[in-house]
């Protein structure tokens, strides 16, 4: 097995185990919630999941770098950098809403791109995966983006940033422009799963601003490998370090670029 396939297998196994940590903590009286900002929660379960994932990756790949949302960092000198979101959808989780995921994207320094991605939804036992150039999969079955070109029938997803209370750049202008033109907009609360739902053809499009690398690294690769077009709002290729993303099927992507172009 080549190294990337081995990395993906390992990421798959630890995501499923981290998903069990999430399920054990879900709706449990032992879970504690604190706040990183007015509306930005972190729970004891985010931290337990991150501690577990960080230790596992460190032990297996001591020379790889790691950037995990809740603060674990490793400055590996090796070829790969792991972006880890131990619980994407914390607001849902903290409210007992069963829609959240574990997201792991592995970035190749020499290729300057994400080359392996796993997003695991433990509530539905849905595991999305991709290796660069090898397609996207849901529980081992190939997935494709939708083939709809009808904007008015499109189901699209978005999110709102945690600083929406203090910033005018809060996605409301884009939301107001897009909502009247589409079938409807969903705000499900896990950016990683939003991207995977585009990959699986459930959503036709997803856009969001002020996302972080751990939110989108895995999902962007999965959406792209499923035939989607994944860019910034100006049409340039997505970059996990640039905090905006538009993922859409190829027939609708240009229309959404136009709708997002006005800022």
Q: What spatial distance separates the first Cα and last Cα of the chain, rounded to whole Å?
A: 46
Interaction partner, residue 171 (Ca ion, ligand IPD, none; CB < 5-8 Å by kind): none
215 three-state secondary structure:
helix
Closest CA to 39 of 91, 115, 3: 91
Binding mask 65-104 for Ca ion (x = CB under 5 A): ----x---------------x-xx----------------
**Assigned token pair, 78:** 């090796």
Specify the residue, 121 or 215, whose C-beta has the smaller distance to Ca ion: 215
CB of 180 to ligand IPD, least distance (A): 22
143's contact among Ca ion, ligand IPD, none, with CB below 5 to 8 A by partner kind, is none
Instruction: Name the residue nearer to ligand IPD (CB basis): 119 or 145.
Output: 119
Residue 231, Cα to own-chain centre: how many angstroms? 14
What backbone phi and psi angles, to 5 degrees, belong to 108?
Answer: -95, 125
Query: Cβ contacts of residue 50 below 8 Å, gap of 6+?
Result: 68, 69, 70, 71, 72, 84, 86, 87
Ranked by CB distance to ligand IPD, the top (closest) residue is: 159
C-beta closer to ligand IPD: residue 90 or 154: 90
Footprint of ligand IPD (CB under 6 A): 69, 85, 88-91, 159, 161, 189-191, 208, 211, 215
Site residues (CB under 5 A) for Ca ion? Answer: 69, 85, 87-88, 215
């Amino acid at each position: 097995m080549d190294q990337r396939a081995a990395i993906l297998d390992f990421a798959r196994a630890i995501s499923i185990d981290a998903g069990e940590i999430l399920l054990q903590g879900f709706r449990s009286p032992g879970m504690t919630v604190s706040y990183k900002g007015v509306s930005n929660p972190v729970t004891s379960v985010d931290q337990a999941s991150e501690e577990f994932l960080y230790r596992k990756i460190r032990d297996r790949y001591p020379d790889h770098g790691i950037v995990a949302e809740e603060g674990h960092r490793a400055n590996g000198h090796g070829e790969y950098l792991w972006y880890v979101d131990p619980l994407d959808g914390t607001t849902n989780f903290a409210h007992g809403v069963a829609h959240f995921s574990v997201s792991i994207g592995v970035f190749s320094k020499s290729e300057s791109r994400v080359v392996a991605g796993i997003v695991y939804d433990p509530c539905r036992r849905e595991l999305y995966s991709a290796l660069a150039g090898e397609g996207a999969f849901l529980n081992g079955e190939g997935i494709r983006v939708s083939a709809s070109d009808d904007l008015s029938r499109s189901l699209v997803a978005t999110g709102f940033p945690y600083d929406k209370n203090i910033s005018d750049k809060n996605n409301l202008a884009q939301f107001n422009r897009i909502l009247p033109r589409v079938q409807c907009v969903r705000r499900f609360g896990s950016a990683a799963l939003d991207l995977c739902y585009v990959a699986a053809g459930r959503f036709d499009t997803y856009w969001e601003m002020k996302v972080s690398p751990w939110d989108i690294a895995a999902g962007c690769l999965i959406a792209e490998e499923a035939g989607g077009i994944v860019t910034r709002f100006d049409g340039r290729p997505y970059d996990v370090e640039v905090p905006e993303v538009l993922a859409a099927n190829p027939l609708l992507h240009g229309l959404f670029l136009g709708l997002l172009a006005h800022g």
